[in-house]
Structure 1
Amino acid sequence: MNRCVKILPLVAIFFTLSANADVQLKDNSEILGKWNLHDEAVSLTSPKKAVTQEWEFKADGTLISSASDVAGRISALKIALKYSIENGEIRKQSSPGREKYESCKVVEKEGSNMILKCTYFFFLTKK
């Protein structure tokens, strides 16, 4: 009985860590297509900020980011960025024309929903 009591906390810690483990992508086939980026946040527990963007992951390693700006001088903005899958993470170009990249971990991918942790947390839904 005493041995069981000592093992229970270790088992609980193991399951807690495995539940929060990042999703390891094998290749880009798991993310190909159009995604609605609807929220972003500094952390998973902080308030979300609503955004309206579309990300399209193409098979050729291009990420097309589209956004609407109703208050601006242009109605729509499309940016092409490079991306790849390395070590189970998305490695995407930070800004067009520069060879600076950031790594994005897939924190959660369930059904048509995905949460990415880049500089910020991005909440996406598959179209």
Structure 2
Amino acid sequence: MKTITTFLSLCAALVAFSANAEVKLEDNAKILGKWVVTAEALALDREKKPLHVTWEFQKDGTLVTTGEDARSGIGAMNIPIKYSVADGVIKKQTMPGREKYEDCAVVEMEGNEMILKCKFLYFFMTR
């Protein structure tokens, strides 16, 4: 009985570890290009809020965010910020013109889909 309990505990620990495993980036090669941010959430298992935003990771270290605020009537806005890949994660500016950065880890990347975990939010993206 003790062996079965130990085995089940070990299996549960492995499942929990693999569910939170991150994709370590060596450089920006895997993320380059345009991504559609389809949703954001406070946690992987929480409600996803739909978004209509694109992020374009450019070779020169610029991340161009394009979005539209229907309430303001301004139309689409392009906001360029700096980013880099270091220590396996994306380091991106929190706001244009400020040298404050946040880490965003790639939680999952499969085919044309990616999930990023930034400081406070998870971003669900497709190419």
Alpha-carbon shift at residue 15 of structure 1 (Å): 4.0
Q: What does 1:1-127 align with in structure 2 at a 5 Å threshold? A: 6-118=6-118, 119-126=120-127
In structure 2, relative to structure 1, the CA distance for the partners of 1:88 and 1:6 (3 Å cut) is: same
In structure 2, relative to structure 1, the CA distance for the partners of 1:4 and 1:104 (3 Å cut) is: same
In structure 2, relative to structure 1, the CA distance for the partners of 1:9 and 1:98 (3 Å cut) is: same
Unmatched runs of 5 consecutive residues or more in structure 2 = none
Helix, strand or coil: the match of 1:91? strand
Tell me the distance in 2 between the aligned counterparts of 1:11 and 1:41. 28
Alpha-carbon shift at residue 68 of structure 1 (Å): 1.5
Give the aligned residue type for 2:40: E
Alpha-carbon shift at residue 13 of structure 1 (Å): 1.4
Tell me the distance in 1 between the aligned counterparts of 2:106 and 2:70. 30
Per-residue Cα deviation, 1:76-115 (whole angstroms, up to 9, x for no partner): 1110000000110000000000001000011111111111
- How large is the Cα RMSD of the aligned pairs? 1.7
Tell me the distance in 2 between the aligned counterparts of 1:90 and 1:21. 16
Unmatched runs of 5 consecutive residues or more in structure 1 = none
Helix, strand or coil: the match of 2:50? strand
TM-score by length of 1: 0.90
Which piece of structure 1 moves more, 31-40 or 68-77? Answer: 68-77
Helix, strand or coil: the match of 2:95? coil
